[in-house]
């Protein structure tokens, strides 16, 4: 698929932020420096219409590496086996100035639920409560990064022993965060504030909101990367509410773009919980 939608998705991806502060000690691996860029003109981005968001991000990250950085990709998506059993997968082995890097990539959407726990990091959960930032951090820390040092990974990568020993491991955890409205001025300890792109509220609260000054749009999941200000086809509350109501009945939190009649756009999640 080569169209304006993919261009907008890639533009949104290039504006992504790391979820964790560079100074965060939660994930004891160096942070890959993902620099925000403006997209090159006349990009030849070809993506299958049905490519899921996660795979779409991988494609965009690869395109970013090849066109906006000095890194070269040695290997990607390397499956590591022990006999017939899959131990896991290494995302990327990169090269730059004769130095090798192991990069683990993630792109996540989390909502801050202050009622989840007394521990701040435990409160970042997936929109449908099926995912959590702390769980992702633990998986990276205890499974994905240690995988590089296993005998099976050494054998699969086929790198000189000295090169393998000196691989630098970096995490690239990107995404978008949403918070309750009354947390707009809250200072989080480990979270990069630039990753906070909007707020969330329950469907009950949304129903009791005055919608006369707003237009809305429900983007497909493939378009969650797109900044709402790039969107043009806005609808009334009445036009989107049936789909929203159905999603809530299915316990499916929904990303919603809104536009005030004066022009300001924003992103928000509507939750069933």
Mean pLDDT for 203-222 is 97
Q: Distance (Å, rounded) from C-alpha 254 to C-alpha 244?
A: 7
Q: How confident is the model at residue 39 (pLDDT cuts 50, 70, 90)?
A: confident
Q: Among the three residues 197, 219, 244, which one is the final residue of a domain in this structure?
A: 197
Q: Distance (Å, rounded) from C-alpha 254 to C-alpha 198?
A: 13
Same domain, yes or no: 160 and 210: no
Mean pLDDT for 222-226 is 95
Same domain, yes or no: 130 and 261: no
Q: How confident is the model at residue 237 (pLDDT cuts 50, 70, 90)?
A: very high
Which phi and psi angles does 47 have, rounded to 5°?
Answer: -135, 140
| CB 61 within 8 Å of CB 174 | no
Q: Among the three residues 197, 223, 238, which one is the final residue of a domain in this structure?
A: 197
Q: Distance (Å, rounded) from C-alpha 34 to C-alpha 20?
A: 12
Same domain, yes or no: 56 and 156: yes
Same domain, yes or no: 56 and 141: yes
> What's the pLDDT tens digit per position in 149-191?
999 999 999 999 889 999 999 999 999 999 999 999 999 999 9
Same domain, yes or no: 155 and 37: yes
Domain count, the chain: 2
With 60 as the cut, is the pLDDT of residue 1 above it? no
Same domain, yes or no: 209 and 105: no
Same domain, yes or no: 240 and 122: no
Q: How many CB atoms lie within 10 A of CB 199?
A: 19
Q: How many CA atoms lie within 13 A of 244 on its CB side?
A: 24
Spatial neighbors of 229 by CB under 8 A, at least 6 apart, are 265
With 70 as the cut, is the pLDDT of residue 196 above it? yes
Is the model's pTM score more than 0.75? Answer: yes
Q: Among the three residues 197, 212, 229, which one is the final residue of a domain in this structure?
A: 197
| CB 44 within 8 Å of CB 10 | no
Cβ burial 216-231 (10 Å sphere, 16+ → b, else e):
bbbbeebbbbbebebb
Mean pLDDT for 39-50 is 78
Same domain, yes or no: 178 and 52: yes
Same domain, yes or no: 190 and 226: no
Q: How confident is the model at residue 2 (pLDDT cuts 50, 70, 90)?
A: very low
Structural domain boundaries, residue 267 = 198-271
| CB 216 within 8 Å of CB 1 | no
């Amino acid at each position: 698929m080569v169209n304006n939608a993919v261009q907008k998705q890639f533009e949104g991806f290039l504006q992504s932020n790391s979820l964790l502060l560079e100074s965060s000690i939660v994930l004891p691996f160096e942070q890959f420096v993902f620099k925000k860029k403006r997209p090159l003109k006349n990009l030849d981005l070809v993506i299958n219409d049905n490519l899921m968001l996660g795979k779409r991000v991988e494609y965009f990250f690869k395109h970013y590496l090849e066109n906006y950085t000095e890194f070269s990709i040695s290997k990607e998506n390397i499956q590591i086996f022990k006999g017939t059993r899959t131990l896991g997968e290494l995302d990327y082995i990169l090269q730059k100035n004769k130095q090798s890097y192991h990069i683990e990539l993630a792109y996540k959407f989390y909502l801050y639920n202050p009622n989840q726990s007394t521990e701040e990091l435990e409160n970042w959960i997936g929109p449908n409560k099926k995912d959590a930032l702390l769980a992702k951090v633990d998986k990276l820390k205890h499974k994905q990064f240690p995988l590089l040092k296993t005998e099976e990974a050494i054998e699969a990568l086929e790198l000189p022993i000295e090169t393998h020993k000196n691989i630098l491991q970096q995490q690239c955890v990107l995404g978008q965060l949403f918070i309750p409205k009354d947390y707009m001025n809250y200072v989080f300890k480990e979270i990069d504030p630039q990753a906070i792109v909007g707020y969330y509220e329950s469907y009950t609260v949304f129903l009791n909101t005055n919608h006369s000054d707003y237009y809305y749009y429900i983007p497909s999941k493939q378009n969650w990367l797109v900044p709402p200000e790039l969107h043009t086809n806005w609808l009334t509350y009445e036009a989107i509410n049936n789909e929203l109501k159905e999603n809530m009945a299915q316990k499916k939190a929904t990303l919603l773009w809104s536009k005030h009649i004066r022009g300001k756009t924003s992103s928000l999640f509507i939750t069933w919980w």
